[in-house]
Homo-oligomer: A and B are copies of this chain.
């Protein structure tokens, strides 16, 4: 793509500011009962399974890695040695739209098994939102939205509505939210950073 000229990097900074604004916005809109319910289910589960497709799947993996550091028995759906889910486990799905087909199909299987299902999503009224025991709503633009939450309206450039693209806002919000769930779990369990580090892979 050598034909394009780089004159400045203003949009990088602008985009970062918009993302920060949107994160700020979301903090005030979170349902605290849902958060507490989610924390309880995670602590009660025998084992934790996480799943997501595409970039939401990467967020799910980032969350799973920290749960492992915290001492949870945790698996990523689709990885090599992930065993069968049982009723006493808890499953966490990440899907901005709540409609990602493969994840929604797996969500239904989870409910047939009888395990608790938590979905982190931007849409309560979605296939996954509706079948979940807890729909943890992060109000942010998902992949198929034209514009969500109104935060883009504050975009200074009227001609430019799509910054950042697709489900980016949801993905970043869910990573920040889930890392903050980790922070809360650290407080609850009294884990020290040294303990977390001792579980961090020593062969990478």
Contacts and interface: CB of A to CB of B under 8 A. Distances in A.
Interface of A: 1-2, 4-6, 8-9, 11-17, 19-20, 23-24, 26-27, 30, 32, 35-36, 39-40, 43-44, 49, 51, 53-55, 58-59, 61-62, 64-69, 71-72, 74-85, 91, 100-102, 105-106, 109-110, 113, 143, 160, 162-166, 168, 171-172, 175-177, 179-184, 186-189, 192-193, 196-204
Contacts of A196: 165-166
A137 B164 CA distance: 22
A197 B166 contact: yes
Given A11-B183, A35-B9, A53-B204, A69 B2 contact: no
A115 to B, nearest CB: 10
Given A9-B36, A204-B78, A68 B83 contact: yes
